[in-house]
Structures are given as structure tokens and as C-alpha cells.
Amino acid sequence: MPAAAPPPDPTAASPDSAAASLDSAAPPQDPSPATADAAGLDAAELRDRYASGATSAAEHVAALLRRIEEIDRSGPTLRSVLAVDPHAVDRAAERDAERARGEVRGPLHGVPVLLKDNIDTADTADTAGGGALPTTAGSLALAGVPTPADAPLVAALRAAGAVVIGKANLSEWANFRSGSSTSGWSAVGGLCVNPHALDRSAGGSSSGSAAAVAAGLAPLAVGTETDGSIVCPAALCGVVGIKPTVGLVSRTGVVPISHSQDTPGPIATTVADAALLLGVLAGADPGDVATMRSGRVAYSDYTKFCRPDGLAGARIGLPRAGLWGYSPAADALAEEAVRLLAARGATIVDPADLPSIDEIRESDAELTVLTTEFRADLESYLTTRRPDGPRTLAELVAFNNDHADRELTYFGQDRFERALATRGLCDPVYVEALRTCRRLGRTHGIDAALGAGRLDALVMPTYPPAWKIDLVNGDQLPGACSIPAAIAGYPVVTVPCGAADGLPVGLAFVGTAWSEPTLIRLAYAFEQALSAPNGRARPAYRPARIG
């Protein structure tokens, strides 16, 4: 199996092709029937099957690698997996051998995991010019520039027994290169599409992580978020995503945008699986000062908060102003979800608006913070890569201009250029913008709304249903849940709450800092109440259609 997918043919990258057709009334067959059973197993089910001997990690990983070939690189051609580890089956076999000796490393022993391709892995020595698992952020500028070590979160996954089977495609540079980008596209990996409907966006920037989990290419994936990059693709692809409090999970070895907003987090098919993965990822890292408080608030096991009765006695607020109302389809499903929350024992406070929401929508403070921190943080990160790679943002801008036929085909690099004009972390303009973000997101935002209503969480539609991919005009996004929590550095959990015309919609649970246990409890109870009679929604791989 090749280590990386080749750069796409621009005509093949767009799903709007002559093959477009209307939906069939018949339920779709899985594009890889021989691996469909393997695709249906979540991490909890896998652990039981491994323990009973019903299957082995090596057998399961081999089935998923076959599925990647048959669904991701041919068939529907999702392009969600940018690279696979050619030694993944061998690594899984090593975990099987350990289990046979009675040595189980941790809760993910033998469980396959995908990593977003902005997370450093040291698996680069097998081949020249980039190795088996390169870390590229989707950019040709980093292709062939090895990383010296696993990121701490990767080391934690391996210590817990996980088998890292590959790197997931992403929106290039975590969707920060341009304000008119198309989510899911990278020069290295091509255009990742939504497995529910192949002409629809998989969201960004953790596009491949969410699409791959939805398609059953791996039960777990790690994404990263600055503003919506976990919860957006999770919602659009119909899976669970947790964007943790900034500082709960280490960012060392993760290609950065913003030290005040970046965080890795889990993507999974169930809340319990996402909670399981979060417990492995969470914890202090001396190399990331933001995590040093997490040692006092992090849990190694978040699954203990997964309680079916978790909604009983909860107080949940609906921030109607600015965070509802942008998508009738998403609103309709979220309203049904709210009725279910109330039926399962929650008190609904409606409305529970953020006092700062109008100012948040009008302010340019977030972009000032992000562009300033991006230049400083990225240039610091680049010093950790091989010396013959790019070292400055100016060099990356020049690289993109020199390779415009492959890098700038669909959109430019206006945010890179704005970042080049910033004046550093001591600039009073930046300092004031950061203070504004904290005020708007925290004290006059989420915390104000929670306090006024004595609330456990805020609930809203996560994102609208997936929009049609448009490589000419970029993403068309009428609204979303993510900005207040992003500028506050606060957690969000998104859970599927239904589908509009076959397109998933997520329900977002938002809380204050370090409130992951509460959000997981609420989200799990909602998930159990919603899915008990219906089962897990599966992608239809619907081709492009008219209308």
C-alpha cells in the first residue's frame, strides 16, 4: 500500500462530475462489503472482541487498511487518509503478542487510531524524502521534511497500546491560509469529501479525521481545533467530536495556529469512545505551559462520566441570539433534541443569550490574535523540523508563490500575508485584542450566560448541514456554534442529533473551562436517549445530484 496518496487531478478532485445522479430509493450497499463488519466496530466493541479472542488487532488493522484502499483511494474516493503506516499490521501483531503474554498496555491496546496530519510522528526513517508517516499540514512545503520525534500526545497513545495506522487529510494549514478556502482541500492530499454525500463538504479543518471515522476507516481519530476545526467536520460527517479546554491536551509537536486557542481532541462514533480517547490524551506536558494546570483537573478516565441518567436535574440554556436561526434545517432538529433533553429530566432555560454575542460577531479581535500568534508560533515550531526545511512564514509565502500551480490553484494566502504584517506578541494592538477575546468569550460571554441562568451547559446547533463543495468560491457558511468557545478557550462536545435530507446535523454542548466531565455526562445521556431505538447512522456515499 502506498505511503501517501498522490496529488489529485484537479478534475478528479471535484465530485461535481458527469457521474452525478439522483438518490436511489434503495438503501446503499457498503462500498467495501468484505470490510463492512470491521467498519461497524467501535473501540469499546473492539476491546471486548480482542479480549474474547473473536478477532485480533492484526486482523482488524489489515481489514481497515483494505477498506482504505477500497473506499478512500478508489470507489467513492473520499481522500480522507493522507498516509498509512506500512508497518501498521506488524505493530498490531506486537500488541496481540503482548496481550497473549498478559501484558495490556492500556485502554486502547490494539485499537487503531488516525492522526490529523499536523501532529508530529517520528515514523519517518523508512523511506527517503518524508518517510512512512510524514507531517505536512497538507502543504508541499513540509512534504519531505521529517519530524524528529512523536508529539507527546502520540507517545501517550502508543503507551496506551493504540496502533497509529496513518495520517488523516486536512484543510491545508488547518484552514488558515486564506479566508476564502475550501474546507477539506490540501495540496498533498487533495479534496476530502463527505461520506454521506460526495458533493458535500466534510468540513474543516479536521476533515479527514471526521470523514474517516464516519466511513469506518478507523474507530478513533485525533483532530485539532482553533475555531471549529473538530466540531465542524464531526457535525457535518455525523460523528462525535470533543474540543477540549485549551490546556487539557498537549500541543507540543502540533503544527500551530494560535497558542491561545489551539487544542487537539478526539473524534469517534460514540460519546463513550470519545471520552475514552480524551482520557489518554489529557494531561500535563512540561513543554506546553498551558497544560501545567491540567494536572489538577484532568482525568485519565472520562468514561466514568458516561451515565444514561446524566440529564436528570441538569439546567441547560439556549443561546438563541446569534447561535440559532442561521439554518432552518439545523434548528428543526435541534428543537427536537431540546424536547428530548427536557423529557429526560433537564430544565431548559430559554433564552440564555450571551451578553457579548453582538460584539463577538462584529469584532475583528479574534483574527488579530490569530494572525499575530500564527506567525510567532509557527516560526517557533519550524525550528523543530529539519534545517533544510522552511524556517519562516515569509519563506512559506514565497514557496507558495513559486509553486502556485499546485498550491494556489483554488484560493490564495491572504491570511498568511496579513500575518506577515503583524508586529509580534508585545504589540499593544495584539495585547488588547487578546484581552477583548477573553472578555467577550468568557466574562461577558459563556460564563455570563451560564451564571445568569445557573446553568450546567449551553446547547445549540453545531453547524448547518454540509454545504455543496465549491472550489471556485470557497465555503459558504451562514453560521456556527464555535466562535465564543474558541475565543474563550472553552470546551465543546458535538453529538449527532439527526439528519436533513441525509445530511447529518450535530447538537453542541458548551461549557466553562474544565467542564468536560459535565459536558460528556450530558452528551452521553442525550446520545443514549436519541439513538436507542434507531442505531448509529451510516454514510450513504450518495453521489452528486441536482438540486
205 a catalytic residue: yes
- The residue written with cell numbers 455570563 in the block is 448
Burial group, residue 348, by CB count within 10 angstroms (0-12, 13-18, 19+):
middle
Check the CA dihedral 49-108-520-236 and report its sign. negative
Q: What is the dihedral of CA 210, 216, 217, 218, to 10 degrees?
A: 80
- The residue written with cell numbers 434548528 in the block is 331
171, 229, 260, 356: the catalytic one is: 229
80, 178, 201, 205: the catalytic one is: 205
229 a catalytic residue: yes
Q: Return the H-helix or E-strand segment holding 499.
A: strand 492-500
Cα(115)–Cα(385) distance, integer angstroms:
18
Return the exposure string of 56-84: e unless at least 16 CB atoms fall within 10 Å of the residue's CB, then b: bbbbbbbbbbebbbbbbbeebbbbbbbbb
- The residue written with cell numbers 519562516 in the block is 392
Cα distances (angstroms) measured from residue 262 to each of 147, 154, 500: 20, 17, 31
116, 178, 209, 258: the catalytic one is: 116
Contacts of 283 (CB under 8 A, 6+ apart): 156, 249, 250, 291, 294, 295, 298, 300
Residue 86: all three cell numbers together = 506500512
116 a catalytic residue: yes
* Long-range CB contact pairs, 142-146, < 8 A, 24+: 142/255, 142/385, 142/389, 142/390, 143/188, 145/385, 145/386, 145/388, 145/389, 145/390, 146/385, 146/386
Residue 315: all three cell numbers together = 439546567
Burial group, residue 466, by CB count within 10 angstroms (0-12, 13-18, 19+):
buried
**Parallel, antiparallel, or unpaired: how do β-strands 347-349 and 315-317 relate?**
parallel
Give phi and psi for 408, each to the nearest 5.
-115, 25
- Indicate the SS3 state at residue 482: helix
Contact indicator for 489, 293 with CB cutoff of 8 Å: no
- Indicate the SS3 state at residue 505: strand
- Indicate the SS3 state at residue 343: helix
Cα(86)–Cα(249) distance, integer angstroms:
28
Query: Active-site residue numbers?
Result: 116, 205, 229
